[in-house]
Chains A and B, each alone.
Chain A
Amino acid sequence: MSAPHLGPAARPASRLAYARRTLSAFGTGLFKAFNANKTSWVGLGIFLTVCLLAILAPWIAPYDPIDQSILFRLKPPSEAHWFGTDYYGRDTLSRILYGAQISLTIGLLAIGLALVVGTTIGMIAGYYGGALDVILMQIMDVLLAFPSLILGLFIVAMLGPSIENLIVAISVTAIPQFARIARAPTIAVKEREFVEAGRALGFSNRRLLAGHILPNILPEVMVMGSLYLATAIRVEASLAFIGLGVSPPTPTWGGMIREGFENILDSFWLAVFPSIAILIVVFSLNLLGDGLRDAIDPRLKGEE
């Protein structure tokens, strides 16, 4: 590596410049994307509201979500129970609020895990290239060859349906997606002049990857993250619907719909309200991620 000789005085200033350059790439990228697309704000707003409701569930839920009241089974919506009661006389509204905690926890942790692991794999593959790239991406291809719901089904059936296992299962299905997303821009960014310059400054590979390349590819990864979060929440609900959800009496939206479906003829509200809840969350995330993706997609820039 033939670094241009820089005087000691010049170094701190240029380091500062690199830091500013790389950090602002991340910040301004996302901010610009948000501003360019108003619907993203709407999506973010709805999603944060749901998160807030989930966090506040213990204070705002009118009843204990697992408290059974056999005499008040399958009651239609009323003043006492806004969304009615279920097969065991539990309050549907309270279960939906607490169910949000489960859905969001599983979704966020699973996607967080997949984002970290997948992005790391993708960046390493893209940055180092060669045989390592081929092997890593081949492994990712094997994982990608399984349809995600089928793979999730398999893993949960194998490990048993606990929150931790669901997180692992769902994140495994998303890891190869993140690896793919991270790899391509890494290859593009590593040739850019500021990375070259960083290399010239003698930064280690790890530092270049973490400090310089990551901030540049992060907006794209985060945007995909919000879209896959939507998918993750849907997959979790689907698994619960098939019967591979978190164990009772813990409320989950997919599990509630499954129970509701069994009572669809006499108590339609049991399936309808959790369905709406899933729809709202997944829709808000799609709105958020979709708007951002449009905004940062370079192919669509220059329009208007």
Chain B
Amino acid sequence: MTTKAILAGLTGLLVATSLSTGAEAAGDTLNIGMGTADAGTLDPHVATTTPDKGLLYWMMSGLVRIEPGKASPEFIEPDIAESWETSEDGLTWVFKMREDVECHGDYGNLDAEDVVYSLKRAANPDTSSFAKDYTPLTSIEATGPYEVTITLAHAIPSLLGLLVPYHGGNIVCQDAVEALGDDFKTNPIGTGPFMFAEYQPQQFVRLVANPEYFRGEPAIKEINYRYIPSDAARDLAFQAGEIDMIYGRQDQTWVERISQVPGTKVAVMVPGEMSVIHLNMTMPPLDDIRVRRAIAHAIDRDTMVAFKGADVTLPSVSVVPEGYLGYTDDVPLYEFSVEKAKELLAEAGHPDGITINAIHTTLPGMLTTMEAIQALLREADINMEIQTVEHATFHSQIREDASQVVHYSAARFPVADVYLTQFFHSDSIVGTPTAVTNFSHCAVADEEIEAARTETDPEAQAALWATAQQKIAEEVCAVPIYQNLQLWAWKDTLDLGYEMTGSLNLSPAVTEKAHFTE
């Protein structure tokens, strides 16, 4: 009797609820599905992961910005700064700010003091992951209520590049940082089109429109940025209409499938995150250049590109990604040849092949690449043992020099210097106090990298960068594989207001102009 009642109740409940789903699409709420389990940190001067940077992009302004929809520094345009002047020697920069920029919430008008505070915060290693980039800035001063003057110790490749809303260039509000203290990292305050509203760990971050945004109030009133790590679940939710925009799996089959969902727009955007195989030159047998060259010969880029799909990858030639300022394709190439690889190994005293170890993340996007490489190497009797560890462990272990081979996939500010410095300058070698991400212990191009940094003549600078790339390729510190382009899809009823060809922050720009057309 009671059993029946409960059963009847449950059945009724199921029927009732099954009818109520599906009718939730509101015209001014944008639901976005992101492919990660959780936010790392939302402090704009600390956040480095793709999902965090992408989200902050919609909340933050810089002194200048790259035109929405573009990724290249040639599209830099005013943001908080209306205009700027440079001294003849290029070492003193004066920025005139807009006076109508308001901080999110009740933190008031943004003035020169805020900008100075923000940039100094970005230059401080205690509060910023990007402090190193800002060391050439010898002084940052408020020279008027809405005027900021920056002085450089020496010429650098792109000061404006350091001032776009990306990494340390994100402008935060002093009062907010000081008032929120430790809470700031989960409650970021900036001046962008959307402002932070709520964070539920492992579930979502909710943003709301900033009514006081200086370019006008956004048409989209709310953004739900939902963390859905499973590619399949994200696609399913998109297909079912539960979310409006998704982060795609870096794979052409994904593009082909998701394009078939009616009313879908797919975007393939630059910059790509470049997959590079770093070879630890201090560990035998990789200390022998013949072995490193053998590995380079054994990896077939065409197969790798076919694996992920030609529409979503760019084959890599140099250790600097194509499209970055200073990139050259004039580097020694190691054509695909299993015989050559075997010959080189035999020459190096390994006629029966070698075994090398690689600690690798379980992150599916990267792991598939590594497994495909593993299979290619096996053809040349190179047995690469992959030990998979969880992503966090991976990051810490590769910095402890625990892996002979490190597969790293990253995008950086598109100037050759950043990539060369972080991955191939001896200061950045892992395990040292100044370590960044030089996993190969490569130190063959320090001179050129340093000289190029302060070289003011663009041609001479390009030549230095080219030489650096050639030397690194000659020594095979690392084998570049391909660039994975950024893949996103959204409902075609969503009009972002710009053509999306790229995004430095890796997520499509959602600005005041974005709106639903229905």
Contacts and interface: CB of A to CB of B under 8 A. Distances in A.
Q: Are chains A and B touching directly in their complex (CB below 8 angstroms)?
A: yes
A243 interface: yes
A250 to B, nearest CB: 10
A9 to B, nearest CB: 66
Contacts of A70: 303, 306-307, 372
A167 B416 CA distance: 47
B390 interface: yes
Contacts of B4: none
A265 B235 contact: yes
Contacts of A67: 375
Nearest to A264: B232
B232 A263 contact: yes
A154 B393 CA distance: 14
Contacts of A66: 375
A66 B385 CA distance: 13
Summarize B's interface: helix, strand, loop or mixed. Answer: helix
B231 A248 contact: no
Contacts of B364: 262
B253 A247 contact: no
Given A68-B375, A74-B253, A262-B230, A247 B386 contact: yes
B257 A266 contact: yes
Interface string B223-253: 0000000111001100100000000010001
A77 to B, nearest CB: 18
B389 interface: yes
Contacts of B257: 265-266
Nearest to A261: B232
A1 interface: no
A107 B211 CA distance: 60
A64 to B, nearest CB: 10
B434 interface: no
B109 interface: no
B253 A243 contact: no
A88 B231 contact: no
A95 to B, nearest CB: 13
Chain A interface category by residue count: 20 to 34
A243 B306 contact: no
Contacts of A161: 388-389
A67 B231 CA distance: 25
Given A66-B375, A67-B375, A68-B375, A88 B236 contact: no
Interface in A135-178: 157, 160-162
Contact of B371 (A88, A157, A261): A88
Nearest to A259: B364
A48 B514 CA distance: 62
Given A247-B388, A266-B253, A88 B368 contact: yes
B390 A243 contact: yes
B362 interface: yes
B372 A247 contact: no
A262 B306 contact: no
B500 interface: no
Contacts, number: 57
A73 B253 CA distance: 10
Interface in B166-219: none
A249 interface: yes
Nearest to B397: A160
A249 B372 CA distance: 10
Contacts of A160: 387, 389, 393
Given A160-B387, A247-B386, A71 B306 contact: yes
A275 to B, nearest CB: 15
Nearest to B363: A243
B403 to A, nearest CB: 13
B236 A265 contact: yes
B374 interface: yes
A283 interface: no
A117 to B, nearest CB: 27
A87 interface: yes
A73 to B, nearest CB: 8
B367 interface: yes
A164 to B, nearest CB: 13
A177 to B, nearest CB: 28
Contacts of A248: 367, 371, 374, 386, 388
Contacts of B307: 70, 73
Nearest to B388: A247
A265 B368 CA distance: 18
Contacts of B306: 70-71
Interface in B361-383: 362, 364, 367-368, 371-372, 374-375
A75 B298 CA distance: 26
Nearest to B389: A160
A207 to B, nearest CB: 45
Contacts of A265: 232, 235-236, 239, 257
Contacts of B232: 261-265
A73 B251 CA distance: 12
A82 to B, nearest CB: 22
A266 B257 CA distance: 8
Nearest to A157: B390
Contacts of A243: 362, 390
Contacts of A262: 230-232, 249, 364
A143 to B, nearest CB: 24
A244 B391 CA distance: 11
A216 B322 CA distance: 73
Contacts of B375: 66-68, 88, 249
A238 to B, nearest CB: 15
Contact of B372 (A68, A244, A263): A68
A247 B368 contact: no
Q: Which of A66, A73, A74, A262 has the most CB of B within 10 A?
A: A262
B308 to A, nearest CB: 10
Contacts of B303: 70
A249 B390 CA distance: 16
A264 B390 CA distance: 23
A243 B363 CA distance: 9
B203 to A, nearest CB: 18
Contacts of A157: 390
A23 to B, nearest CB: 46
A162 B359 CA distance: 13
Interface string A54-90: 0000000000001110110110000000000001100
Q: Which of A157, A160, A248, A249 has the most CB of B within 10 A?
A: A248
Interface string B45-82: 00000000000000000000000000000000000000
Contacts of A68: 371-372, 375
A73 B372 CA distance: 12
Q: Which of A66, A71, A74, A87 has the most CB of B within 10 A?
A: A87
B367 to A, nearest CB: 7
A161 B249 CA distance: 25
Q: Which 6 A-B pairs have the closest CB atoms?
A: A68-B375, A247-B388, A243-B362, A70-B307, A264-B232, A262-B231
10 contacts: A68-B375, A88-B368, A88-B375, A160-B389, A243-B362, A247-B388, A248-B371, A248-B374, A261-B230, A265-B257
